[in-house]
């Protein structure tokens, strides 16, 4: 079995370089910050968010309310600002102006690592794994660092197909398998908020359906889920509330059924 990377705390830049996944961030820091229940049923509240990259502003005063224990869908075409919104929530892209509150506490200035300690986990894409490590070690590095009492068993129970892939190097897996592994790592980190970017992108309908089914299961168990996707029937079907983003602004918020029937 290959040797996992050291589990000493990493700084923000190192953690991002390790895969930009919040599961990797949680693996780097371990320890979960105790928290109170979400006041008023609100998990996250983003107000007046402006953010971007260099001279380019992507979000233009975005407001977002994420209910606790529900599935929130961020929908829109490529370039609408969905991925940037998730990266802002995870602390990977700083706000230029605006505020972010988690369960009533303002966390605008908290680092990505500190947000991961609170259980805010981002799964950006299938690259959010340690490509040079085996599947087993990818899971162990999260389970051991976060002190999961059941080891990697919950991940294998949720994704039985990974049992046959445990010795395999993660970088040699298919895109769908890497996506599955990234979600399994996030599960072991026991998220309070699980953010998933473009779950179905590049996947076969069969694999995408399996992963959406798992997301629905974890949401039903009480985990807050934020799903950024294009206009897919699966995303609309599982969402409790939908936002449509257009050029960094909110163009719709409401019942996903209104979009599904449009």
Q: 145 in a domain, yes or no?
A: yes
Cβ atoms of 173 and 127 closer than 8 Å: no
The reported pLDDT for the residue numbered 28 is: 37
Strand order in the sheet with 71-75: 120-123, 193-197, 224-229, 71-75, 241-246, 249-254
pTM of the model: 0.83
What is the extent of the structural domain holding 140? 129-190
The reported pLDDT for the residue numbered 152 is: 95
Tokens of 103: 């369960």
Q: How far apart are CA 178 and CA 163, in angstroms?
A: 14
pLDDT in tens, the chain (262 residues): 333 333 233 233 223 333 334 344 334 334 455 556 676 799 999 999 999 999 999 999 999 999 999 999 999 999 999 999 999 999 999 999 999 999 999 999 999 999 998 999 999 865 689 999 999 999 999 999 888 888 999 999 999 999 999 999 999 999 889 999 999 999 999 999 999 999 988 888 888 888 998 999 999 999 999 999 987 788 899 999 999 999 999 999 999 999 877 6
The reported pLDDT for the residue numbered 6 is: 33
Q: 164 in a domain, yes or no?
A: yes
The reported pLDDT for the residue numbered 29 is: 35
Tokens of 165: 């892939």
Phi and psi (nearest 5°) for 253?
-145, 135
Which is nearest to 89 in space by CA: 127, 120, 131, 56?
Answer: 120
Into how many domains does the chain fold? Answer: 1
Q: 133 in a domain, yes or no?
A: yes
The reported pLDDT for the residue numbered 149 is: 85
The reported pLDDT for the residue numbered 91 is: 97
Tokens of 145: 């660092």
Q: 42 in a domain, yes or no?
A: no
The reported pLDDT for the residue numbered 230 is: 83
The reported pLDDT for the residue numbered 146 is: 84
Question: What is the per-residue DSSP string for 21-87?
Answer: -HHHHHHHH--PPP-PPPGGGEEEEEEEEEEEETTEEEEEEEEEEEETTSEEEEE-STTSSHHHHHH
Q: 168 in a domain, yes or no?
A: yes
For residue 127, count other CB atoms closer than 10 A to its CB.
15
Q: 163 in a domain, yes or no?
A: yes
What tens digit of pLDDT does each residue of 66-83 get? 999 999 999 999 999 999
Q: 154 in a domain, yes or no?
A: yes
The reported pLDDT for the residue numbered 83 is: 96
Give, rounded to a whole angstrom, the gap between the first and last alpha carbons of the chain.
Answer: 52
Q: 172 in a domain, yes or no?
A: yes
The reported pLDDT for the residue numbered 179 is: 92
């Amino acid at each position: 079995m290959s040797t996992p990377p050291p589990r000493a705390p990493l700084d923000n830049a190192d953690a991002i370089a390790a895969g930009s996944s919040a599961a990797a961030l949680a693996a780097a820091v371990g320890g979960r910050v105790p928290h109170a229940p979400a006041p008023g049923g609100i998990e996250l509240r983003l107000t007046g968010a402006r953010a971007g990259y260099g001279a380019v502003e992507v979000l233009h005063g975005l407001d977002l309310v994420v209910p606790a224990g529900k599935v929130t869908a961020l929908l829109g075409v490529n370039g609408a600002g969905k991925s940037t919104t998730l990266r802002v929530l995870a602390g990977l892209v700083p706000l230029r102006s605006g505020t972010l509150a988690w369960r009533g506490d303002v966390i605008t200035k908290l680092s990505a690592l500190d947000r991961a300690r609170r259980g805010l986990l981002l799964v950006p894409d299938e690259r959010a794994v340690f490509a040079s490590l085996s599947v087993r070690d990818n899971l162990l590095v999260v389970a051991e660092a976060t002190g999961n009492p059941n080891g990697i068993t919950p991940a294998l129970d949720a994704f039985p197909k990974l049992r046959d892939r445990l010795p395999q190097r993660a970088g040699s897996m298919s895109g769908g398998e890497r996506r599955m592994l990234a979600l399994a790592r996030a599960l072991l980190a026991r998220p309070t908020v699980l953010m998933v970017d473009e779950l179905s992108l590049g996947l076969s309908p069969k694999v995408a359906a399996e992963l959406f089914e798992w997301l629905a299961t974890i949401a039903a168990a009480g985990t807050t889920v934020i799903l950024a996707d294009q206009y897919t029937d699966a995303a609309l079907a599982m969402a409790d509330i939908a936002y449509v983003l257009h050029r960094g602004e909110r163009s719709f918020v409401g019942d996903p059924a209104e979009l599904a029937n449009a």
